[in-house]
Amino acid sequence: MILDDFLYFDTNGLYCKYGQFYIDPQQPVKTAVVSHAHADHAIANNNQVYCTEATAAFMQLRYGKTAAKEFDIVAYDKPFAIGDIQTTFIPAGHMLGSAQILMEYQGTKYLYTGDYKLQPDSTCEPIEWVKADVLITESTFADPNVIHPDPIEEIKKLNDIKSNILLGAYALGKSQRLIKLISEYAPNKTILVHHKIMPMNAIYEKMGFTLGKYQLYSRKLMKTQQEYVYIVPPFTFDSYIRATGVKRLFASGWKNLQVNQNDTLFISDHVDWNDILLTVEKTQPKQIWTLHGDGNHLRKHFGDAIFVKILN
């Protein structure tokens, strides 16, 4: 039997009262299950955190001693118990260490996707499929009008830009994916990396995910036109709004983050409409619960075929 109140939001975030834990809490809590290390999902000062090895490493890098009082690091596909709930981390394909969270309670399977993507990405573990009674999916781009382009074709656009490029990207996950893609599909470019990104790259390399050829940014280098691609986090990108001698691009799935009328770089680490429909096909849920976006398009699409509940 599907429990309608198995997960719900309270003041601390998404709560499972049957296991007495939070998933990706927004405030520090006693017990947290963290799907991945992006800051909007992984905060500091939780007491006990269940997560993958890579997620713990990124949290410790970002938060130091306040990352958590205790980490319970669990490998993918290895069931573990939190109270009466059997829990399993399933690769989500979003970034290194990202996990879907499969929860089994009283014979019912609930699958929380966290942020996930289906596009191939050699800088993280590819998504794995499991069947569930309830699919709890992010709906960031759950709109029939949103179909993500091929990231390889997007990266190949850089080959036509002969000036230096200032490329804005989130420091964790997106930057490493870009380094790999540029290395493979725009090999004539020389990749420079902001110093804030370098320690995260080191974790990727340590865990066996080689990114390609890149080097630390030098102001002296960028004074010459050598088709450099300088990858910077958003705060640095915004501070260089009047930068001259460079083409400014921001790699994102969001239209409003494209900063250049002539050149765009639509590269998303989230599922689009078709990806979500494929996920439903693969997981075969009896119900779909949505969060982190608008679930109304899914509700309209499935009608009476599958019950769709909007959590947020």
What are the residue ranges spanned by the domains of the chain?
Answer: 8-144+270-310, 151-257
Contacts of 275 (CB under 8 A, 6+ apart): 117, 118, 148
Q: Which long-range contacts (CB under 8 A, 24 or more apart) does 55-59 make?
A: 55/97, 55/98, 55/99, 57/97, 57/203, 57/207, 58/96, 58/97, 58/172, 58/200, 58/203, 59/34
Give the pLDDT confidence score for residue 85 in this predicted structure.
Answer: 98
> Of how many residues is the chain composed?
312
H/E run at residue 184: helix 174-185
Phi first, then psi: what are they for 29, rounded to 5°? -135, 175
Q: Burial of 76 by CB count in 10 Å (0-12 exposed, 13-18 middle, 19+ buried)? A: middle
Cα separation of 23 and 153, whole Å? 35
Q: Do domains 8-144+270-310 and 151-257 have the same CATH topology?
A: no
Question: For residue 221, what pLDDT is reported?
Answer: 79
- What pLDDT is stored for residue 226 in this prediction? 85
- Position 110 scores a pLDDT of 98
Tokens of 79: 């069931």
* Calpha distance 71→94 (Å, rounded): 21
Q: Report the distance separating Cα 248 and Cα 169, nearest Å.
A: 11
CATH of domain 151-257: 3.40.50.10710
Torsion of CA 285, 290, 291, 292, to 10 degrees: 100
Q: What is the pLDDT of residue 261?
A: 78
Superfamily of segment(s) 8-144+270-310? Ribonuclease Z/Hydroxyacylglutathione hydrolase-like (3.60.15.10)
pLDDT in the model for residue 218:
84
The three-state secondary structure class of 171 is coil
Segment-wise mean pLDDT, segments of 10 residues, the chain, 312 residues: 97 97 98 98 98 98 98 98 97 98 98 98 98 97 96 97 94 98 97 97 97 90 86 92 86 92 93 98 98 95 94 88
